[in-house]
Amino acid sequence: MDNVYTEIDTPENDVDGGLIALIIAAVAGAGASIYFGVKSIFLKKKLKEVQEKNVAFQEVIRKHQAEIDALISEKERQEYLIQLYENYISEMEK
């Protein structure tokens, strides 16, 4: 029984454990890279949408401030501000 190989010890079944670990690590690394790449694309798209929305809000605020400044009486300003606030609240609830 000197050269008797069991099924586990046969040279055909002897695969280098380091090679398997390397392959698993490479697959996991590639999967992580793909995940973070796709996530980055979606986050950039969402950031661009938020920035565009912010620019639009800034423009609206600038226009409304010009209208407020143009109003002469304090009562007209207060009425306009109240109306503006109510419109803003209704828009945020949508």
**For the purposes of burial, counting CB atoms within 10 Å of the CB of 31, is it exposed (0-12), middle (13-18) or buried (19 or more)?**
exposed
Q: Domain locations in the chain?
A: 11-93
CA distance 88 to 93: 9
Confidence (pLDDT) at 47: 93
**The model's pTM:** 0.44
pLDDT at 6: 53
Per-residue pLDDT of the chain (94 residues; tens, 9 = 90+): 455 555 555 555 555 667 888 888 888 888 889 999 999 999 999 999 999 988 888 988 888 888 877 777 778 888 888 988 898 888 877 6
DSSP label at residue 8: T
pLDDT given at position 75 = 80
What is the Cα–Cα distance from 63 to 56, expressed in whole angstroms?
11
